[in-house]
Amino acid sequence: MYQHFVRRLGQACMKLGLPHVTPHGLRSYFVTQARQSGLTDAEIAQLIGDKTGPALIAQVYGDGATGSSSRGGQEDKANIKDPPR
């Protein structure tokens, strides 16, 4: 089922002329956008269904205040851009 979703996501990206994205990339993009919109890590954890809570959000995606990440900025490699307006 996961591979089916990944394949369909890839097909949708090609059809729309978007760069290749992964489910993890979409999740990272969502977390980044939610943080920039002012949501707390606890609110984000609840929205993405992360039962471990806000501590893991800060650990994986970095400290929201500084933008630093223990992953060395990998969340920035999602290769997703804001849609044109």
pLDDT score recorded for residue 80: 54
Question: Vertex 19, ends 69 and 44: CA angle to 5°?
Answer: 40
Position 41 scores a pLDDT of 93
Cβ of 50: how many Cβ atoms within 10 Å?
Answer: 17
Per domain, the residue ranges of the chain are 24-72
Total residues found in the chain within this entry: 85
CB 75 within 8 A of CB 69: yes
pLDDT on residue 76: 43
Per-residue pLDDT of the chain (85 residues; tens, 9 = 90+): 889 999 999 999 999 998 988 888 999 999 999 999 999 999 999 999 888 888 888 888 886 554 444 444 444 444 455 555 5
* pLDDT value for 37: 95
Q: What pTM was estimated for this model as a whole?
A: 0.64
